[in-house]
Structure 1
Amino acid sequence: MSLTRDTVEEIRQYIRENCSTLFGKKFWECRSISLIQFSTKSDKYEQKFFVISKFRVFILHGKTPLHLKIDKKFNLLSLRAIQVIAASKELNLSWEDRSGRSIVKASIKCTEMEPIELAKSLLSALKHYFPDIGPSLSNFIAIVPSQLLSDFQTFPISTPKLLCNNFRRSYVAICDYYDQRYKDEVVWDIEHIYFTHDLHEIRLEDFVHLPVKDQITILACAQFSEYFTGITIEGTKLVSEHIEILFNIIRRSHSLKTLRLINCSLPKDFITHISAAISANIHIPLEYLDFSSNNLDDRKGFQQLATVLPKLTHLKSIYFTNCGLSEKCVTAISSGLISGFTMENSGKKLELRALGLAGNSLKDDVSELVNFISLCTSLRILDLSGTSILIDRLWNNLKLGGLQLEVLKLSGCSTGKKSKEHAAVVKELFGSMVNLKEVDFSNTQIGPDLLQAFLTGLANNNLIKDVNVNLNGVCDKTCAPILEKFLGDCPIATLFLRDSSFENEILPVLSALRKMKSLTMLDIGGNNFYTLKSNKKYASIYSHVLDELVKMMNESNLQELNLSDARIGETMHIILNAMGISKLSLLDISNNEMGNTGARLLSKALQLNHCLQKLYIDRNQITAEGFAELSNALKLNRTLQSMPTPMIDVAEAFGKPDRSRVLTAVSEIERYLERNRSEKCRNEELRQKVIHQLNNRSEKYEINSSDYKRIIFFEVIKVISDFGAESPIRVSTDDIIDTVVTKLHQISKINDDKTLAKLKEILAEHGVEICEQIEAQNPGQEDYLKKNIKQLVENHLTEISWATVFMKADRLLTLNNALKLRGSFSNGAIDHSVHVGYSKLNHRPASMIHDSSDTPSRATSIDELNNGSATPLVHLAKSRPRPAHRLRNIKDENGNTSSGLDSTPPSSSHTPITTTMNNSTTSHMSQSSSSGDSNGSPLIAKRAALLPPPASPQLYASVPDELISSTTTTPPPIPRRTPNMPPKLPPKPETSPAKSPLNKHKSSLTSASTSESSELIDRF
C-alpha cells in the first residue's frame, strides 16, 4: 500500500528534524530525502525512503514517523557501481557490505526525480568529503554512463575548503568507513604540523603510538587526496592490514609520487602483489620507489614487475638496497628497464636517474644490468656498493652511458686479475665525466694501476670540481707513491682515507695532502697510525707523521679534519697543542684515548683557538675532571658553537662518585655553546682573534733577533688587550639609522600594497572578496627595525675597527723603525745575562706531562722538523744524573779523582758553570738568538725531550752566585764507610768575571738606563 502525499511529507519532515535520533549523533543533517521503490531482487519493489546524511546512505521503511526503521545503510566509499538505465528509469547500485564481506546489489526507481539526478546527488556528496577524488573514481567505482564522470568536475566544491585539501572531512568519512573513532590529535597534527611545514608525505612513524586500525585510517586518506604525494615507512613492522591499504592506495591514487618502505618486514610475495596493483592503475605518477632492507628475493614477482616498470614513465629512482636479490631478480629488473628505453611507439620513454642495488650479491650473470648502464644516459646516481660485482665489466659501459653520472658508488666490489688492463679506459672515463660529485671505492682493492688511472683522469678533467672521493680501506704502501705524485692536481674537496695500510709510507702521503689546494675535508682516522704507534722501530717515523699532521692543520686549506678511532693516545698532545692556531672549523678526535690529560691540553687550545666551530670528542675516557677543564675553556672561548655531548664518556662518568660534578660541567658546556651561538656583540671574540693572530705572526716581526722589538711587541699586545677589554668605542649612528628606517618604510609600503593586491586577486579566485579597507600596522615594528639595524651596524663597525687594528699593528710591527720606545733606549738590541727568547713555535709547546714517556714528543720547532740530525730520545735511566755516592771515583778533565761533594768550590769557577746551566735548561724552552755561538752552531745538541744532558757533573754541582759569595764555612761532613777524599778544583776559565757579558753590559750602560731596562725586562 502506497503512502499518501501528506504522510510522505510528514515522514520527510520528521527525518529532517530527527536525524541524530534516527542515525546517530554525528549525522545531524540530511543532504537529500527521496521516496523510492527499492528492490534487492528482480521484480519485487518496496516503497522506502532514500536518505543521504553526511557521508552515509540510509534506506528506511515505515508507514508512520514512529514506525521508521533502517533497512540498509552504507558509507559512500563502499559504492562499487552506479549504473543509470535510462530506458527503464532505474538506478542500479552495488556497494560493499563490510560486515558480511559481500557485495550488495539493489535496483531503485524514483518518481520524484530522474535516476541520473539521484546518481548525481550521491557523487556530489562524495565530492563534498573528497574534493580530489575525481580522477580516482573510475579506479574503484564502475560508473555508467561515463557522462557522470565528466559532470563530476562541475559539481560544487564544499565550502569552506579546509586545510590540507579538506583533510578533516575526508578523515571523518574514512573513520566511519573503517568503523573507527575519530581522533582529534590526528587532525591537529596534520593541520598544524604538516600544513605549517608544507609536508606532503605521510610518515607513519609520526603515528605509531596509535593502534594499527587508526594507522590504517590515516594511510587511507592518501587514496583520494592530492595533498599527500608520498608515504614513508621506515623501521616499522607492517602487518597484513598495512599491506592491504598500501595496495589500495596504489590502485586508486592519482597523486602518489613517492613510496618508501624501508626495513618494514615486507612479505616475500610483496613484489607480485604490488606489480598487480600498479597494473590496475598504470597512470599513477610514481617517481621514487625504495624497498630497501626487506627480503624480497622473488623471481616470479620481479618478472611480473619487469612488465610494469616500462609503463611508469614518471619513474626516476629505484632502490632495492639490501633486499637479498639474486642475479636473476636483478636481470629481470634490468630487462624491464631496458624495454622502457627500447619500446617502439611508447610515447614518453623512461628516464631513470637513480638506481640502487647495494648489498645484493651480483657475482655472476650481470650482463643485462651492464647493458642497461650503457643505454641509460639519463642516469645520475649508480649505487652498486657491497654487491661484489666485477667492476672491470663496468668501465666500457660507463664510458658509453655514464658520462653524466653525479654519484658512483662501487664500494665493496671486486676486481679481476687483469684489472690493470682497463687503466686506459678508467683514465678516459673519469677524464670525460661532466657532472661528477662523488666517487666511492671504499673496501675495493682497485690496485695502484687503477688508482693512478683514476687520479690522472680526475686531474685532467677541467669540467668538474669539489669532488667527494672515498678511498677507505683501499690503499696500501704500494699506493703511497701514486697518491704522493697525483693527488696534488686532483679537484678533490672531500677525501676519505680511513683504515689504509700505508704503514711507514704514510709520511709522503700526508705531505701531498697538505699541498692540495682544493682539499677542504679530510678523514684519515681509523687504523692508519696504529701500526706505527705499536711498533717501536717506527717511533721516529711516527713522530714525523704527527708533525706532518700539525703542519697540515696550520698550513693547508683544510677546514674539516676527522681523526676518529685513530687511538693516537698520549701523543695526542702534539696535535692538541697545535690547535691553538689551527684554521680548522671542524675537528673529530673521537676514540683517541686522550683521557683527562688530553682534555686538559684541549682546554688550553680552545682558550686560544678562534676558528673551530664544531668539535667531537666522545669515547676518550674523559671523566669529571676533564669535563670541568673543558667547561672552563669554553667560558673563555667565543667561537665554538657545536660540541655534541660525549654520551659514552658521560655515561661512564656517571657511574663514579663525582656524578654531580659531571652534570654541572656538562650543563655549563651546553650553556657556553648556546652563548656562542646566540651572542650578538662580537667585541670580545674579535679582541681575542686579533691577539691570537699577532702572536701567531710573532716570527715575522723578528722579535727573536732583537730584544728591543720584543719589548715593543709585548707592549703592543698588552695595550691592545687592555684596550679591547673595555667597552667598544661607539660613534653616533642614530641619524643614518633613522634615514635607513625611513627609506625602508617607504619601500615597505610599496611592497605591502603589491602584496595585498596579489592577495586580493588570489582570494577573488577562491570566491572571497575584501569588502573593507583596513589599515593594519604593527606599532612596535619601527622600534624593532631600528634595534636590529643598530645591532647590525654596530657589529659591522666593531668588526671593521678590529680588522683595522690588526692591519695597522701588523704593518707597524713589520717595519723596522715604525715604533720606538721613549726614554734612554736606543733602537737596537739589548744584551741580557740570561737569554730567554720568545718561542718561535706558533702552537703550544709540548707539555711536561708527556716528556718522560717513551712516545714521540715535540722538542723542536716546526721549522726544524726537516732536520734529520735531531738527537733521538734517550732512556730516562741513562740521562738521569748519577747519585753523589757513585761519583767518588769519577775523574775530571785533569785526570784527578773527585768526590761527589765539593765543600767549598772556588769563586772563579762559578761563572762558566752558571752559564752552562742556563743554556742547557733554556735552549729547549725557547729559540732565542743567543742559543748559538758566533758561527750559528748550537751550544748543546738538540733533544726530543726536556731532559738534562746525560751524566753532567757541572749541572748538579753548580750553586747560585749569592750562595757562593756568602758561604765561608764548610757544611758538616756526611759519614761514609770509606774516607772521603777532597776533590781537586776544576781549571780556571779563560775569561775573568770582569770580562763576562754581564759585567761588560753593566759597565756600558748608564745608571738611568739600567734602572729603566730592569723595569721593562721585568714587565715581560
Structure 2
Amino acid sequence: MSTRSQLTKDLNESVKSILGRHTKILVKYMVKLETKGDKTENRVLVFTPVRVYLLSAKVPTKIECHFHYLDIVGVESKKSTHFSIVTNDRPYSFVTTGDAGNFSSNADVILTDLASAIKQIFPTVPLKYIIRKIDIQPPERETIFSEEFRPSDPRNVGPCGGFSAQYACMCDFHGVPYREEVAWDVDTIYLSHDTRVLNLRDFDHLEPKDLMAIVSALEYNTFFRGLKAAHMRLSHETLERILHVLKRSMWLEELHLEALGLRWDFLNKLSISVITNSNPAIRTIDLSHNIIEDKGAIHLAGPIAKVSKGLCKLALAHCGLTSKGVNQMSHSLTLNQSISNSLTYLDLSGNSLKDDITNLHNFLAQPNVLEHLDLASTDITLENLFGALLRGCATHLAHLNVSHNSFSTKKGKEIPPSFKQFFTSTFSLKHLNIAGCKLPMEALKNLLLGLACNESTAGLYLDLSSNTLGAQGAHVLESCIHGVRVLQSLDISDNNLDAELAPVLTAISKNPSIRTLHLTRSLTGMKPKHIPPVMDALVNLIQKDDFPLVELVLSENKLKHDLHDFINALGSNQSLQKLDISGNFMGDAGARLLAKALQINNRLRTIYMDKNGVTLQGYADIVYALEHNHSMR
C-alpha cells in the first residue's frame, strides 16, 4: 500500500476501515474533484486490484462512488495537474493537490499508477485495447500508457496468460463469486496440456452466472485461442458474453458452439460482432447441430466475405440448411479472396442440398487449399460434384465424405469422365467415404480404375459399405481391386455380395497394399451353403505370407460355428494386430478355440469379442490363455 499525498493518519485508518480488510489497497491520493462550474472539493482516490474508489476527505470517511477498471472508456489529461477518467456512466475530472512541480502531486504519477494497476490484470495486452480513448497532451506525456514504457515481463504474467487474475477481475465485474476450482483447473490442467481452447463442458456443473465470468475472462487473454461449448444449454447472459468477447477480442481464433439449440437470430448477432471487431482473429467457426436454417447462413455470409485473414475451418453440419442458404454462403466464400488460400476444412453434412448449388460448385472449382470436405447425407447429385472437385480440389483434398448421396444418372447414360479423372489425378486423397450411395456399376468401375491409375497418392482408406453392390458389384471388385495399389484400408461391409464374396476375397489377397479390411454384416443373410467357401477364402487370405493384413473387422455376421476354422487359423497368423469378431455368437466352443490360438499367436494386440454368447467358462479359458500371451493389450 502506498500513500502519495497528504492523508492524515486518522483519514488513512478510516479509509482502510470502510473498505474492509479483504480489500487490498494499491495506492491512495488526496485529489480535488471538479464539481459544478469551477468549484472543486477534496476527495480520496483509491486504486484497488480491480476497482477505483472515490471517498470523502473527512473522518469518518464514506464511499461516494466506485467503478470497475473495465468501466473506464477514456482517460484525458491536457495539463500535468489535471486529468479526467471517463466511465460508462459519467466523467470524473480531477485536479491534483499541491503545485505541478511536486512529484507526488503530478497527474502523470496518478495515471501511471492507474495504468500499472490495469496491467497487473492484463499484462500481455496493450492498454489502448482496454481503454479505447486515451488523450494525453502534450504528446511526450503519452508514454504513460505506452507499451515501451511498461513492457510485460513473461515471468510475471502467470499461468495461461494470467487467466486467474482476469477471471477474478470478471467475477467482480459481473458480481459473481470467485471459484477457486476454476482457477485451479485452468492453471494446472490446461497449462500442463498446453490446451489453448477453453471448453465450457469442463465447468458445466457450475451456475450459469459462473460461466458468464469464465467466458468474459477470454476478452483480453492472449493464451487461449478458442472457446468450445457442445451439447449443453447456455443462458442468454452467457451467450451475450460470448458475442461481446467475439466483438472485442483480437486473439480468439476458434469458436466451437455445437448442439446448443442456437437459432438464426443468434447468427445475426454473431455476424454483427465479427463485423464490428476492427481486427477479428476468428479463423474457425463450428456451429454444427444448431438449426440456424437459411436465415442464419445468410447472416453468416456477411462476416465470411469480410474476414480479412480468411477462415480455416467452417463446420455447419446438420444445421437445417437448404441450397438457398448454402449458395449464399458459398458466394461469400468465393468473394473473399483470402479464403481460397486459407479454408482447409468445410463440413456441410446433414443439410438438404438437393436443389441447384451452383455457387458451391463454383467455389469448389476454383483453386483452393481444402483438405477436408464433408457433404454426407446432403442429397447432392454426385456426378455434378466431381467436375468441380477435379478443377479445384485435386491438389490438397485429403478427406472426402460424400456418403449417403446418389447418382441421378439414368440407365444407359454414362458417368461423366470427370468422375474417373478426379481419382486418377488427386494428389493427396487419404480418406474416401462413398458408402450408402447405391453406386452404379459403371461408377464403381470408374472409381477403381481411376485409383488404379493414380501414381501420386498412397495409404488410402476407401469405404464402399452399404452400396448394395450384389453379384454384379462383386464381379467389378474381383476384376479391379487387385490393381488398386493406393489402397491401405478397404470397407466393403453390408453389400449383399453373397457367394461372390469368396472370389472377391481372393482378389483382395493379391493386393499387398491393403492392411485393413472391414467385412461387417457381409455374411448376414447369406445362404448356409455359401458360407463355407467364403470362410475358406478368408482363411486363405490371412494365411498368405505376401498379404500382411494388420486389421480385420468381421463383426455382426452371426457366423456361430462357421467362425471356428477361421479362429483356428489365427494361431499361425503373423500379421494381424487388431481383430473384431463381435456379434458372431461363437459360444464357449469358439472361445476355447480362441484361447488355444492365443497361446500360439504373438502378434495380436487387440480383440473385440462382445455379443458372442460366451459364458464364464469360455472367458475362463481365454483368461488362462492370456496368462501365457504377452502381446495382447
Fold match (TM-score > 0.5): yes
Name the CA distance, whole Å, in 2 between partners of 1:456 and 1:34.
86
| 1:597 pairs with one of 561, 583, 589 | 589
Paired residue for 2:488? 493
Say if 2:404 is the partner of 1:412. yes
Secondary structure at the counterpart of residue 362 of structure 1: coil
User: What is the CA-CA distance between 1:128 and the residue it aligns to?
Assistant: 1.1
Secondary structure at the counterpart of residue 392 of structure 1: helix
Say if 2:511 is the partner of 1:516. yes
Paired residue for 1:181? 177
User: What is the CA-CA distance between 1:150 and the residue it aligns to?
Assistant: 6.3
Paired residue for 2:567? 576
Name the CA distance, whole Å, in 1 between partners of 2:611 and 2:366.
48
* Aligned residues of 1:258 and 1:286 also touching (Cα < 8 A): yes
Say if 2:450 is the partner of 1:464. no
| 1:368 pairs with one of 359, 370, 374 | 359
Q: 1:298 to 1:572 in 2, by over 3 A?
A: same
User: What is the CA-CA distance between 1:117 and the residue it aligns to?
Assistant: 5.1
Q: 1:291 to 1:277 in 2, by over 3 A?
A: same
* Aligned residues of 2:4 and 2:29 also touching (Cα < 8 A): no
Q: 1:282 to 1:591 in 2, by over 3 A?
A: farther
User: What is the CA-CA distance between 1:267 and the residue it aligns to?
Assistant: 3.5
Give deviations 1:200-222, integer Å, cap 9, x for gaps.
Answer: 11111211222222222222221
Name the CA distance, whole Å, in 2 between partners of 1:352 and 1:16.
60
Number of residue pairs aligned between Structure 1 and Structure 2: 612
Give deviations 1:142-173, integer Å, cap 9, x for gaps.
Answer: 33359579614522547733222222322222
For 2:221, give the aligned amino acid. Answer: S
Give 1:432-451 correspondences, 5 Å limit.
432-451=425-444
Q: 1:127 to 1:447 in 2, by over 3 A?
A: same
* Aligned residues of 2:367 and 2:392 also touching (Cα < 8 A): yes
Give deviations 1:151-202, integer Å, cap 9, x for gaps.
Answer: 1452254773322222232222222112222222222222221111111111
Q: 1:354 to 1:8 in 2, by over 3 A?
A: closer
Give deviations 1:915-943, integer Å, cap 9, x for gaps.
Answer: xxxxxxxxxxxxxxxxxxxxxxxxxxxxx
Q: Which runs of 5+ in 1 are unaligned?
A: 1-5, 96-102, 642-1020
Q: 1:9 to 1:626 in 2, by over 3 A?
A: same
Name the CA distance, whole Å, in 2 between partners of 1:469 and 1:600.
34
Q: 1:42 to 1:553 in 2, by over 3 A?
A: farther
Say if 2:543 is the partner of 1:554. yes
User: What is the CA-CA distance between 1:460 and the residue it aligns to?
Assistant: 0.7
Secondary structure at the counterpart of residue 615 of structure 1: strand
Paired residue for 2:609? 617
Name the CA distance, whole Å, in 2 between partners of 1:208 and 1:524.
40
* Aligned residues of 2:312 and 2:343 also touching (Cα < 8 A): yes
Q: 1:140 to 1:358 in 2, by over 3 A?
A: farther
User: What is the CA-CA distance between 1:432 and the residue it aligns to?
Assistant: 0.8
Q: 1:18 to 1:433 in 2, by over 3 A?
A: farther
Give deviations 1:411-466, integer Å, cap 9, x for gaps.
Answer: 01121124952342222111111111111101012211111111111111111111
If asked which structure has higher relative contact order (CA below 8 Å, sep 6+), I would say 2
User: What is the CA-CA distance between 1:609 and the residue it aligns to?
Assistant: 1.2
Give 1:361-760 correspondences, 5 Å limit.
361-404=352-395, 405-418=397-410, 421-474=414-467, 475-490=469-484, 491-526=486-521, 528-532=522-526, 535-536=527-528, 539=529, 541-555=530-544, 556-582=547-573, 583-641=575-633
| 1:79 pairs with one of 72, 94, 102 | 72
User: What is the CA-CA distance between 1:32 and the residue it aligns to?
Assistant: 3.9
Secondary structure at the counterpart of residue 54 of structure 2: strand
Q: 1:119 to 1:459 in 2, by over 3 A?
A: same
Say if 2:125 is the partner of 1:133. yes
| 2:285 pairs with one of 278, 282, 289 | 289
Secondary structure at the counterpart of residue 479 of structure 1: helix
For 2:272, give the aligned amino acid. Answer: A
Secondary structure at the counterpart of residue 231 of structure 1: strand
Say if 2:47 is the partner of 1:55. no
Give TM-score scaled by structure 1 length.
0.57
Name the CA distance, whole Å, in 2 between partners of 1:7 and 1:166.
28
Name the CA distance, whole Å, in 2 between partners of 1:50 and 1:323.
53
Give deviations 1:539-574, integer Å, cap 9, x for gaps.
Answer: 0x2110011111112212211000111221221212
* Aligned residues of 1:269 and 1:298 also touching (Cα < 8 A): no
Give deviations 1:855-900, integer Å, cap 9, x for gaps.
Answer: xxxxxxxxxxxxxxxxxxxxxxxxxxxxxxxxxxxxxxxxxxxxxx
Give 1:241-320 correspondences, 5 Å limit.
241-299=237-295, 301-312=296-307, 313-320=309-316
* Aligned residues of 2:233 and 2:261 also touching (Cα < 8 A): yes
For 2:208, give the aligned amino acid. Answer: V
User: What is the CA-CA distance between 1:8 and the residue it aligns to?
Assistant: 7.2
Name the CA distance, whole Å, in 2 between partners of 1:38 and 1:329.
57
Give deviations 1:240-275, integer Å, cap 9, x for gaps.
Answer: 122011112111212111111111222431211110
Higher strand share: 2
Secondary structure at the counterpart of residue 336 of structure 2: helix
* Aligned residues of 2:54 and 2:63 also touching (Cα < 8 A): yes
Paired residue for 1:210? 206
For 2:113, give the aligned amino acid. Answer: S
Say if 2:347 is the partner of 1:356. yes
Name the CA distance, whole Å, in 2 between partners of 1:232 and 1:8.
48
Q: 1:15 to 1:464 in 2, by over 3 A?
A: farther
Name the CA distance, whole Å, in 2 between partners of 1:85 and 1:544.
95
Name the CA distance, whole Å, in 2 between partners of 1:282 and 1:448.
54
* Aligned residues of 2:201 and 2:232 also touching (Cα < 8 A): yes
Secondary structure at the counterpart of residue 301 of structure 2: helix
Q: 1:85 to 1:446 in 2, by over 3 A?
A: farther
| 1:154 pairs with one of 141, 149, 156 | 149
For 1:208, give the aligned amino acid. Answer: D
Q: 1:125 to 1:88 in 2, by over 3 A?
A: closer
* Aligned residues of 1:91 and 1:116 also touching (Cα < 8 A): no
Q: 1:595 to 1:45 in 2, by over 3 A?
A: farther
Paired residue for 1:991? none
Secondary structure at the counterpart of residue 477 of structure 1: helix
User: What is the CA-CA distance between 1:140 and the residue it aligns to?
Assistant: 6.6
Name the CA distance, whole Å, in 1 between partners of 2:323 and 2:37.
57
Name the CA distance, whole Å, in 1 between partners of 2:210 and 2:143.
33
Higher helix share: 1
Name the CA distance, whole Å, in 2 between partners of 1:525 and 1:394.
29
Name the CA distance, whole Å, in 2 between partners of 1:388 and 1:240.
35
Secondary structure at the counterpart of residue 177 of structure 2: coil
Name the CA distance, whole Å, in 1 between partners of 2:130 and 2:263.
25
Q: Which runs of 5+ in 2 are unaligned?
A: 99-104
User: What is the CA-CA distance between 1:280 and the residue it aligns to?
Assistant: 1.6
Q: 1:589 to 1:17 in 2, by over 3 A?
A: farther
Give deviations 1:354-385, integer Å, cap 9, x for gaps.
Answer: 11101101000211111010114211211101
Secondary structure at the counterpart of residue 612 of structure 1: coil
Name the CA distance, whole Å, in 2 between partners of 1:32 and 1:87.
18
Secondary structure at the counterpart of residue 273 of structure 2: helix
Q: 1:357 to 1:506 in 2, by over 3 A?
A: same
Q: 1:314 to 1:184 in 2, by over 3 A?
A: same
| 2:61 pairs with one of 59, 68, 85 | 68
| 1:143 pairs with one of 134, 137, 155 | 134
